[in-house]
Amino acid sequence: MICCGAIGAQAQDTSPSLTAPVAPVSEELELLKEEETVSIATRHEQPISQAPSNVYVITDEDIRHSGATDIPTVLRRVPGLDVMQVTGADFNVSARGDNQLFANKILVMVDGRSIYIDGQGLVFWKSLPVTLPEIKRIEVLKGPASVVYGFNAFDGVINIITKSAQDMKGTTLQFGGGELGTISSAAVQAGSAGKLDYRLSIGHDQNQQWRNSDALAFRSNKFNVQTQYNFSGDATLRVAGGFIDTNRFDGPVSNVQIPRSQFNQGYTDVHYQYRNFSVRGWWQGNDIPVDSATHPLLSQFVRQTNATGGPNVSFTTNTYNIEAQHSLEFGSSNRLSYGVNYRYNTVDGSAVSELGREDRFGVHLQDEWKIRPSLILVAGVRYDLHTRINGTWSPRVALVYNLTPEHTFRISGSVAYRPPTLFESNLDLRILPTVPPLFAPIPLLGSQKLNPEQIISYEAGYQGWWMKHRLRTRLDLFFNHLSDLINFQTVGTARTLVNGGEADIYGTEAGLEFLATRWLSGFANVSYQKIGQTFTGVSRRGGPDWKANVGLRGDWDNGFNSEIAVHYVASATYPLIEFFTALAPVLPAPTSPTVDSYTLLNLRGGYRFWHDKAEVAVAVYNALSDKHKEHPLGDTLGSRVMGWVTLRF
């Protein structure tokens, strides 16, 4: 399978060994790779070239060969994704020039279940409810997808798909340790008993701060269990649950503070599927203790507190979701899909003025019509209702044309919305002077009158296979119009969340993936984006114009393997709160809104043995030691060396 990352010549792992044994085949057949099958664009399996949206795939082999301890580091290789590491715990991920602190515009799921925190609009990327060895692949969709996922599928969707119990049958142990007190560990037990499959996993992860190697940035423990009962006649019932205990989280960083946080999450998930029909219900609860801590550059002058002046800004959220979907196939030329979804959210705590509650209800309809064998029209629409806003319509239309079986063109247009979160509606905090009377206390207030944010997107794409499927090339063009983004504006003596402004973001992404020999593969891509906007203050969009990624992977029969990946990110300017300008003469250090360009060189070398059931590896993050910041208020990132051991039996 040729994918977004380096393309392994080995088959995907479906046995207890690190690389499944395969029968000897000719070199020509080994270099003939099939196209990926994805489900993220239409919520059913289809070849990636037939998807009505821009989709990339990261495989479990890409993750293993990367040597990464977290998912955002792996996502850097996807052209058009913006990945910003701010502290040793805090990452922000978005797409196509729309990244920011507290990034809240990309929907993230595990096995199709949203882990996006509706109440606050965040994803805690270091505290995902899955361990690295459990991940089978990551599907990345860039562009709006509200038509099938509803609210929050604004800039794009990332779905982390885990391995089945049969894929992981047996025991998997993985331990990684290295500099900055970094530990990444997991234990997975999977198997079956009759028609019942099961998978149990535990994980522990931790690391120190970049800015202070003696201080803890992140520490987390997680437990997950998934069972699946396989009925006769293609029906399955999957029941899953788990919890995460993150007792130290350095962030998330805002324009004023680097809070001392914890993050505790529990979830349950029940999913029944019979052929083209599925019904699912899940619950997710988050307990997030937070002590406000002002950014060190401002701490001598200001502090952010709750409404009574205290440092406790903790909160809890709960989400209850039920959804159903069904598809009808009319011959081989038409597929009609429709579904319904209800969600109930709550937020409470010392950071909000009252207990917040909201109901969401949505219905969607999508038709895929094969007009001709070489021409497919995909059209759909979704209608969403929300407690505090008017109903929204989210359409998508796409045309996919196969010039030949190896060359595909796609054009599409879509609309998506992100509603105000309960946090944005009920926020109630204060900014106080550390040394009165520097300024009067400033209330930070939410608003019950916010409108949803909107994106209108147009795309054109091409995918082509060359050299008997040993080389794939891609080219995409996009234009996004953003409006009514939510951010702070001074209203009287308070800073209040309001809608306002517009932005036009356009750009292009080009890339290739190749399989040079049975043991050597690689990828290269580049992306460009330009932002025109009327936003002012901290609501301004920021990001690099250029990004480029190159990778090479070697995987030899004698057990040795290696990967080299280079990520270049151009300089970028991000908005800062006005305190940094007003207090510039007396701040302990000057703060520029611009971060310099940087180049990340990541290396990994490994050796498989014991019939491919064991592997030892060494990975180096930022091998060039290119010390850099990825946001003006973030830590200066350095390098790190890690050792890895993996056993399967």
In a domain, residue 633? The reply is yes
3-class secondary-structure state, position 461: strand
Contact 539, 424 (CB under 8 A): no
In a domain, residue 3? The reply is no
- Give Cα 515 to chain centroid, integer Å: 27
In a domain, residue 243? The reply is yes
In a domain, residue 134? The reply is yes
Residue 437 preceded by cis peptide, ω within 30: yes
- CATH code where residue 81 lies: 2.40.170.20
Strands 428-433 and 302-306 come out as antiparallel
DSSP class per residue in 223-247: EEEEEEEE-SSSEEEEEEEEEEEEE
Residue type, 519: W
In a domain, residue 474? The reply is yes
Contact 114, 104 (CB under 8 A): no
What per-residue confidence (pLDDT) applies to 421? 95
H or E segment at 72? helix 71-75
- Give Cα 435 to chain centroid, integer Å: 41
What per-residue confidence (pLDDT) applies to 24? 52
> What parts of the chain have a pLDDT lower than 50?
1-17, 19-22
For 571-599, write each residue's pLDDT tens digit.
Answer: 999 999 988 888 888 888 888 999 999 99
3-class secondary-structure state, position 580: helix
What per-residue confidence (pLDDT) applies to 438? 76
pTM for this entry:
0.94
In a domain, residue 16? The reply is no
Domain that holds residue 87: 32-648
Distance CA 164, CA 169 (A): 8
What per-residue confidence (pLDDT) applies to 603? 98
What per-residue confidence (pLDDT) applies to 339? 97
In a domain, residue 4? The reply is no
Strands 442-445 and 494-515 come out as parallel
* Number of compact structural domains in the chain: 1
In a domain, residue 21? The reply is no
What per-residue confidence (pLDDT) applies to 355? 94
